[in-house]
Amino acid sequence: MRPALVAWLRAGLVIVGVVALDQFTKRQVEHSIVPGEERRLLPGVQLVDARNHGVAFGFLPGHHIAVTIIIGVAVLGLLVYFMRHATKPLIWLPTGMLIGGALGNIIDRLRDGSVTDFIKLPLGWPPFNLADASITFGVLLLVFVVEGPRAQADGSDPGSQPEAAVGREQTERS
């Protein structure tokens, strides 16, 4: 099978997995936690049933059309990048995570007019959901996948030394 096709299939599986897990957990929260109620999950982590009418962390509340356009443009840009770089190692993983997270939240927006957030961390951090977590980790992983090889190739990786420098060190020790 061609590498690009394999990358598309892998990204598709990640998308389906993220959307399915995100939607499942949101429905479980909606059916088991009353809005305003908090349940302890782990020390410092609460489960809540909150509605987000904006994008990440409530930014742009009440701008449903603008939010949908922004998300659509971002997903389209990511798809174009993925089409051009599908054979790049691991690029399928952050692509799948980002698109899956975006779709998970878009489904909520279209169905309910808001996104269900349910994971609450301490120190006033706004509640979030698995789609948000997938987007956050997807962005971090995308930066690593895109920039990691470039940093190693130009020698800027602090753990790598050009061969000439290694040779000089050995000469200086002698």
Active site residues: 117, 132
The CA distance from 138 to 128, in Å, is 15
The CA distance from 147 to 149, in Å, is 6
If we measure between CA atoms, which residue out of 71, 58, 57, 61 comes closest to residue 106?
71
The terminus-to-terminus CA distance of the chain in angstroms comes to 52
Alpha carbon separation from 69 to 100, 106, 131 (Å, rounded) = 17, 11, 18
